[in-house]
Amino acid sequence: MDNPDNSYSQAFKQIAKTANSSLPFKRVLTSIAKSTAKALKAAGCSIMLLNAQKEYLDIVAAHGLSDLYLRKGALNAHRSLPDILEGKVVAIFDVSQDKRAQYPEAAEMERISSILGAPLLQKTEVVGEVRIYTQEPRHFSQGDKDFLAAVANMLAITLEKTELYQLLEAEHRKKITKQRNLTEAPELPASSLRPSSFGHPSEEEFARLLDFYRIEWLYEPRSFPLAWQNSKVAEMFTPDFYLPELDLYIELTTIKQSLITEKNRKLRRLKQLHPEINIKLLNKNDYLRLLAKYGYGPLGETKVQGIDRVLFSHTQIERQTKALAERISHDYVGHQLVLVGILKGVICFMADLMQHISLPLTLDFMAISYYGSNAEPAVKITKDLDTTIAGLDVLMVEDIVDTGMTLNYVLDHLRSHKPASLHVCTLLDKRVRRLVDVSLDYIGFEIPDEFVVGYGLDYHGEYRNLPFIGALNPELVQEGRGK
C-alpha cells in the first residue's frame, strides 16, 4: 500500500480487531463501514449483499449516508457496476456522467461525486460489495483500491462466520446445484430482501399472497423525491412493493376516501416526474383482480380452490423452459429435430419450449388412453403420428414422468419406426414413483410424490389453464390420471 503515514495498515488492524470481536453482527459491519470511510477519507461507506438470484444488492450496513440515500432503492446488480460481479474493484470518477450509476439524482442530492467499490468474494463467488463515496471528485490510487479490496476480503471472512451468511450460502448452494443438474426446486422469491416487519397488516397479507404464487417482490425498494424546498427534499413517496417480474410498483390503500385522494395526488406527481415508471394504486379488491389478470387465481378468491401450494410460478417455469431449450439448441446444432408430444398435458410446455429452440424443427403428436386395473394398468395408442420419423432425430417431449410406464411404452413404439436418434425431455420428473427405468435426457424439475396440476396438467379435465404448477389437495384426488 502506498499510503505514506501507514494509516491504512493501522486502520486495517482496527478493522480486523472489530471483525474478530464479539460485537453483534450488525454493529461489526457498521463499525467496519465507519473505519473504512475514515481511512479512505470518504464521506460514506456501504456494505451490500447480493440476493440469492444475484439480481439485487441490498445495503446491510452503512456509515455517513443519509436515510434518504439509503432508501433510494435496491441496486440492480447487473446494471450497477457489472465488473463487481466479475470480482473486480471498480472506480467511478464522476457519478453524474457515468451510465453505471443507477440513482444519479439521489447521488447528486447526497453530493456524491466519486465511488469506489470492491467485491466481497467467497472463493471465486461474489456475495456482495463494499463501496465508499466521496463528495469531491477523486481519482482513486492503487493504494486506495488495495485497501478497499483488503477490507472486502475481511468482510467476506466475517460474513462466512455469521448466521446471515449461512442463510445466504444455503440459497447460493441451492442455486448452484440447480444450475448443474436442473432438478432442484427453485429458491424462494427475493428472500434476502424480506423486511422484518410491514407497515400495515394488508401489506403482509399481500406479501403472503405473492409468496403463495411465488411471485418475486421487494418491499419499499425505492423512495422517490416529489417536492423540493431550497434544494432539500420536502416530500417523498415510497411505494409499498416492487414486482420485478412485472416491472410494476404497487401502493396499497384502504377504501378510506381521504387516503385514496392523497395517494392519487402523489401518484400523479410521481408519473409527471417519472413517466417511465409503472405504478398502480390498489385496494384489496383491485389486487385480487390484478392477480386474476395475470392468471393468478379466479376473480374474488384469494387462492385457487383445491391448490395446496404453488410449486413453480410461471416465471420459474419460463426460466427453466428457456434453459432447457438452450441446451437442446446447443446439443442438436446442425440437425433437424422432430418434437413428439402426447396430448393433451404437454401442450403448454411444448408450445413454450419450441419457441425457444433455435433450430429448424417439426412437430407431431400422439394420443393415448389407459385401460386395465390400477394393479395392472395398460396403455393403448388412440392417435398415432401423422408423419414418418424414420431416419430423423426425434425428441420426445413430456409434461411429467411418474411411474415411467407410459413413456416406456411410447418410446418402444417410436423406436419401431427407426428414428436416427431418440431422446427425452420432460418438464417434471416424479422420480420417487418410478417403476420402469427410462432414461431422461433433459429434466426441468424433479418433484416429490404429489399430484400436480396446471400449465397443461389436469385433474378430471380441469386446471390445465393455470399458468403455474400447483400441488392439488390430496383429499380432492381419489385417482389421478388425465391425459
Residues known to be catalytic: 402
- Please identify, using beta-carbon distances, which residue of 222 and 430 lies nearer to ligand 5GP: 430
Q: What DSSP element (H or E) covers 109?
A: helix 104-109
Query: How does DSSP assign 235-280, residue by residue?
Result: EEE--SEEETTTTEEEEE--S-HHHHHHHHHHHHHHHHH-TT--EE
Half-sphere exposure of 473 (CA within 13 A, CB side): 8
- Please identify, using beta-carbon distances, which residue of 97 and 374 lies nearer to ligand 5GP: 374
- Please identify, using beta-carbon distances, which residue of 1 and 343 lies nearer to ligand 5GP: 343
Strand partners, 394: 338, 422
**Which backbone phi and psi does 78 adopt, to 5 degrees?**
-75, -30
- For ligand 5GP, the binding residue among 145, 458, 466, 469 (CB under 6 A) is 458
User: Which three-class secondary structure string do you get for 308-355?
Assistant: EEEEECHHHHHHHHHHHHHHHHHHCCCCCEEEEEECCCCHHHHHHHHH
How far is residue 146's CA from residue 11's CA, in Å, rounded to a whole number? 13
- Please identify, using beta-carbon distances, which residue of 71 and 483 lies nearer to ligand 5GP: 483
- Please identify, using beta-carbon distances, which residue of 48 and 457 lies nearer to ligand 5GP: 457
Nearest-approach distance from CB 31 to ligand 5GP, in angstroms: 53
Q: Where are the extended beta strands (E) located within 19-79? A: 44-50, 56-63, 75-76
- For ligand 5GP, the binding residue among 156, 402, 429, 444 (CB under 6 A) is 402
Nearest-approach distance from CB 186 to ligand 5GP, in angstroms: 18
- For ligand 5GP, the binding residue among 341, 404, 444, 470 (CB under 6 A) is 404
* Contact between residue 469 and residue 455 where contact means Cβ atoms under 8 Å apart: yes
Give the contact letters, 114-143, x = binds to ligand 5GP (CB under 6 A), - = no: ------------------------------
> Is 193 one of the binding residues for ligand 5GP (CB under 6 A)?
no
**Which backbone phi and psi does 348 adopt, to 5 degrees?**
-65, -50
- For ligand 5GP, the binding residue among 87, 143, 467, 480 (CB under 6 A) is 480
Size of the site for ligand 5GP (CB under 6 A): 21
Give the contact letters, 329-348, x = binds to ligand 5GP (CB under 6 A), - = no: ----------------x---
Give the contact letters, 459-478, x = binds to ligand 5GP (CB under 6 A), - = no: x-------------------
Q: Is 124 helix (H, G, I), strand (E, B) or coil?
A: coil
How far is residue 81's CA from residue 117's CA, in Å, rounded to a whole number? 8
- Please identify, using beta-carbon distances, which residue of 110 and 398 lies nearer to ligand 5GP: 398
> Is 280 one of the binding residues for ligand 5GP (CB under 6 A)?
no
| Contacts (CB under 6 A) with ligand 5GP, residues 202-261 | none
> Is 44 one of the binding residues for ligand 5GP (CB under 6 A)?
no
Q: Looking at 155-163, 194-202, 356-364, 399-407, which segment touches ligand 5GP (CB under 6 A)?
A: 399-407
> Is 483 one of the binding residues for ligand 5GP (CB under 6 A)?
yes
- Alpha carbon distances (Å) from 240 to 120, 265, 269, 403: 30, 16, 17, 46
- Please identify, using beta-carbon distances, which residue of 28 and 452 lies nearer to ligand 5GP: 452
Closest CA to 223 of 73, 56, 90, 390: 73
Nearest-approach distance from CB 78 to ligand 5GP, in angstroms: 36
- Please identify, using beta-carbon distances, which residue of 221 and 345 lies nearer to ligand 5GP: 345
DSSP letter at 287 equals H
How far is residue 15's CA from residue 28's CA, in Å, rounded to a whole number? 9
Nearest-approach distance from CB 327 to ligand 5GP, in angstroms: 22
| Contacts (CB under 6 A) with ligand 5GP, residues 418-457 | 430, 451-453, 457
Burial 400-412 (b: 16+ CB within 10 A, else e): bbbebbbbbbbbe
Q: Looking at 92-100, 152-160, 281-289, 398-406, which segment touches ligand 5GP (CB under 6 A)?
A: 398-406
* Contact between residue 21 and residue 106 where contact means Cβ atoms under 8 Å apart: no
- Alpha carbon distances (Å) from 86 to 81, 294, 404: 10, 35, 43
∠ at Cα 152 (159, 42), nearest 5°?
125
> Is 75 one of the binding residues for ligand 5GP (CB under 6 A)?
no
Q: Looking at 175-183, 222-230, 259-267, 403-411, which segment touches ligand 5GP (CB under 6 A)?
A: 403-411
How far is residue 468's CA from residue 210's CA, in Å, rounded to a whole number? 13
Cis peptide before 280 (omega within 30 of 0): no
- For ligand 5GP, the binding residue among 74, 75, 338, 401 (CB under 6 A) is 401
* Contact between residue 420 and residue 332 where contact means Cβ atoms under 8 Å apart: no
Closest CA to 179 of 326, 399, 359, 351: 326
- For ligand 5GP, the binding residue among 226, 343, 405, 476 (CB under 6 A) is 405
> Is 406 one of the binding residues for ligand 5GP (CB under 6 A)?
yes
The contact set with ligand 5GP (CB under 6 A) reads 345, 399-407, 430, 451-453, 457-459, 480-483
